[in-house]
Chain A
Amino acid sequence: MKQERTFRKLLLVLTVSCAFSSPLAHAVVTDQDIADDAKTTNDVVSYGMGLQGQRFSTLDKLNTETVKNLTPAFVLSYGDEKQRGQEAQPLVHNGKIFVTASYSRVFAADAKTGEEIWQYDHRLPEGIMPCCDVVNRGGALYDNLFIFSTLDAQLVALDQDTGKVVWKEKMEDFKAGYSNTAAPIVVKGMVITGVSGGEFGVVGKVEARDAKTGKLIWSRPTVEGHMGTLNGQDNGITGETNKSWPGDLWKTGGAATWLGGTYDAETDSLFFGTGNPSPWNSHLRPGDNLYSSSVLAINPADGKIKWHYQWTPHDGWDFDGVNEFVPFDLKKDDGTVVKAGGHADRNGFFYVLDRTNGKLINATPFVNKITWAKGIDLKTGRPEYDDTNRPGAPGSEAKGTSVFSAPSFLGGKNWMPMAYNPGTDLFYVPANEWGMDIWNEPISYKKGAAYLGAGFTIKPLNDDYIGALRAMDPKTGKIVWEAKNKAPLWGGVLTTAGNLVFTGTPEGYLKAFDAKTGAELWKFQTGSGVVGCPTTWEQDGEQFVAVPSGWGGAVPLWGGEVAKTVKHLNQGGSLWVFKLPKTTS
Chain B
Amino acid sequence: MKLTTLSTLGLSALLFAAPLYAGTLEEVKTKGVLSISLYKEFPPYSSVIDGKQQGVDVAIAEALAQKLGVKSEIRLVSADENVEDDLRNNVWKGHYLGGGVTDVMLHMPYDNAFSDKVDKVKFVAPYQMEQVTFAFDTSKVGKQPTLANFTSAPIGVEIDTLSDFYLLEALQGQISKNIRHFPNLTQAADALKKGEIAGIMGPRGELEGVLSERPDNIQIQGLITPGLGRGSWAMGVAVKADNADLASAVDGAMAELVKDGSVKKIFEQYKLTYNPAAEPPVATAQK
A125 to B86, alpha carbons, bound, how many Å?
Answer: 20
Q: Which of B62-70, B171-179, B251-259, B266-274 contacts the other chain?
A: B171-179
| A196-B8 contact in complex given A249-B181, A284-B169, A447-B39, C-beta closer than 8 Å | no
Complex interface bits, B138-162 against A, C-beta within 8 A gives 1, otherwise 0: 0000000000000000000001111
Question: Which B108-132 residues sit within 8 Å CB-CB of chain A?
Answer: 108-109, 111, 113-114, 117, 130, 132
Which residues on the A side are within 8 Å of B2 (C-beta)? 198, 200, 254, 276, 278-280, 318
Q: Are A443 and B83 in contact (CB under 8 A)?
A: no
Q: Are A399 and B82 in contact (CB under 8 A)?
A: no
Q: Which of A128-136, A208-216, A534-542, A543-551 contacts the other chain?
A: A128-136
Which residues on the B side are within 8 Å of A467 (C-beta)? none
Complex interface bits, B163-195 against A, C-beta within 8 A gives 1, otherwise 0: 011101100010011111101000000000000
Which residues on the B side are within 8 Å of A320 (C-beta)? 1
Q: Are B178 and A247 in contact (CB under 8 A)?
A: yes
Q: Which of A59-67, A335-343, A451-459 contacts the other chain?
A: A451-459
Q: Are A246 and B177 in contact (CB under 8 A)?
A: yes
B10 within 8 A of A: yes
Q: Are B10 and A448 in contact (CB under 8 A)?
A: no
Which residues on the B side are within 8 Å of A280 (C-beta)? 2-3
Q: Which of B28-36, B214-222, B227-235 contacts the other chain?
A: B227-235
A198 to B85, alpha carbons, bound, how many Å?
Answer: 14
CB-CB nearest in chain B for A320: B1
A126, A197, A410 pick with most chain B CB within 10 angstroms? A126
CB-CB nearest in chain A for B235: A448
Interchain CB contact (< 8 A) of B176 among A126, A201, A247, A252: A247
Complex interface bits, B224-260 against A, C-beta within 8 A gives 1, otherwise 0: 0001011101010000000000000000000000000
Which residues on the A side are within 8 Å of B231 (C-beta)? 450
Which residues on the B side are within 8 Å of A446 (C-beta)? 79, 81-83, 160-161
Residues of B within 8 A of A (CB-CB), count = 58
A256 within 8 A of B: yes
Question: Which B50-91 residues sit within 8 Å CB-CB of chain A?
Answer: 78-79, 81-83, 86
Question: Which A450-499 residues sit within 8 Å CB-CB of chain B?
Answer: 450-454, 456
Which residues on the A side are within 8 Å of B15 (C-beta)? 126
| A279-B7 contact in complex given A397-B286, A448-B109, A449-B130, C-beta closer than 8 Å | no
CB-CB nearest in chain B for A81: B98
Question: Which B1-45 residues sit within 8 Å CB-CB of chain A?
Answer: 1-8, 10-12, 15, 39, 42
A563 to B122, alpha carbons, bound, how many Å?
Answer: 25
CB-CB nearest in chain B for A436: B3
Q: Which of A111-119, A162-170, A186-194, A388-396 contacts the other chain?
A: A388-396
A226 within 8 A of B: no
Interchain CB contact (< 8 A) of B6 among A132, A202, A445: A132
Complex interface bits, A422-449 against B, C-beta within 8 A gives 1, otherwise 0: 0000000000000000000011111111
Q: Are A124 and B11 in contact (CB under 8 A)?
A: yes
Complex interface bits, A390-422 against B, C-beta within 8 A gives 1, otherwise 0: 000111111100000000011000000000000
Interchain CB contact (< 8 A) of A395 among B8, B176, B227: B227
A84 to B97, alpha carbons, bound, how many Å?
Answer: 10
Question: Which A233-289 residues sit within 8 Å CB-CB of chain B?
Answer: 246-249, 251-252, 254, 256, 258, 275-276, 278-281, 283-285
Q: Are B1 and A279 in contact (CB under 8 A)?
A: no
Q: Are B7 and A248 in contact (CB under 8 A)?
A: no
Shortest distance between the CB of B158 and any CB in chain A (Å): 9
Q: Are A126 and B10 in contact (CB under 8 A)?
A: yes
Q: Are B6 and A395 in contact (CB under 8 A)?
A: no
A320 to B81, alpha carbons, bound, how many Å?
Answer: 18
A199 within 8 A of B: yes
A127 within 8 A of B: yes
A442 to B117, alpha carbons, bound, how many Å?
Answer: 12
Q: Are A443 and B4 in contact (CB under 8 A)?
A: no
Q: Are A445 and B109 in contact (CB under 8 A)?
A: yes
Q: Are A198 and B6 in contact (CB under 8 A)?
A: yes
Q: Are B39 and A129 in contact (CB under 8 A)?
A: no
A449 to B12, alpha carbons, bound, how many Å?
Answer: 25
CB-CB nearest in chain A for B177: A247
A469 to B7, alpha carbons, bound, how many Å?
Answer: 32
Which residues on the A side are within 8 Å of B83 (C-beta)? 444-448
| A128-B6 contact in complex given A442-B285, A446-B81, C-beta closer than 8 Å | no
B203 within 8 A of A: yes
Question: Which A81-125 residues sit within 8 Å CB-CB of chain B?
Answer: 84, 124-125
Shortest distance between the CB of A82 and any CB in chain B (Å): 10
A134, A200, A201 pick with most chain B CB within 10 angstroms? A200
Q: Are A443 and B181 in contact (CB under 8 A)?
A: no
A184 within 8 A of B: no
Complex interface bits, A512-531 against B, C-beta within 8 A gives 1, otherwise 0: 00000000000000000000
A252 to B83, alpha carbons, bound, how many Å?
Answer: 23
| A398-B7 contact in complex given A247-B178, A279-B160, C-beta closer than 8 Å | no
A74 within 8 A of B: no
Q: Are A443 and B117 in contact (CB under 8 A)?
A: yes
Q: Are B108 and A448 in contact (CB under 8 A)?
A: yes
A546 to B263, alpha carbons, bound, how many Å?
Answer: 62
Which residues on the A side are within 8 Å of B82 (C-beta)? 444-446, 451, 453
Q: Are B107 and A448 in contact (CB under 8 A)?
A: yes
Q: Are B3 and A554 in contact (CB under 8 A)?
A: no
A558 within 8 A of B: yes
Q: Are A448 and B7 in contact (CB under 8 A)?
A: no
CB-CB nearest in chain B for A399: B286
Q: Are B1 and A456 in contact (CB under 8 A)?
A: no
Shortest distance between the CB of B208 and any CB in chain A (Å): 15
Q: Are B165 and A394 in contact (CB under 8 A)?
A: yes
A358 within 8 A of B: no
A285 to B227, alpha carbons, bound, how many Å?
Answer: 19
Q: Are B79 and A398 in contact (CB under 8 A)?
A: no
Q: Are A283 and B169 in contact (CB under 8 A)?
A: yes
A532 within 8 A of B: no
| A443-B113 contact in complex given A276-B2, A284-B169, A448-B107, C-beta closer than 8 Å | yes
Shortest distance between the CB of B203 and any CB in chain A (Å): 6
Q: Are B12 and A126 in contact (CB under 8 A)?
A: yes
Which residues on the B side are within 8 Å of A202 (C-beta)? 1
Shortest distance between the CB of A173 and any CB in chain B (Å): 12
A557 within 8 A of B: yes
A506 within 8 A of B: no
Interchain CB contact (< 8 A) of A198 among B5, B12, B161, B162: B5
Q: Are B165 and A279 in contact (CB under 8 A)?
A: yes
Q: Are A318 and B165 in contact (CB under 8 A)?
A: no
Which residues on the B side are within 8 Å of A48 (C-beta)? none
A177 within 8 A of B: yes
Which residues on the A side are within 8 Å of B183 (C-beta)? 176, 201
A130, A246, A447, A454 pick with most chain B CB within 10 angstroms? A447
Nearest 8 interchain pairs by C-beta:
A397-B229, A198-B5, A448-B107, A445-B83, A129-B7, A447-B79, A200-B160, A126-B10
- 8 A–B contact pairs at CB < 8 A? A129-B5, A134-B97, A278-B2, A280-B2, A442-B229, A443-B113, A444-B82, A445-B109
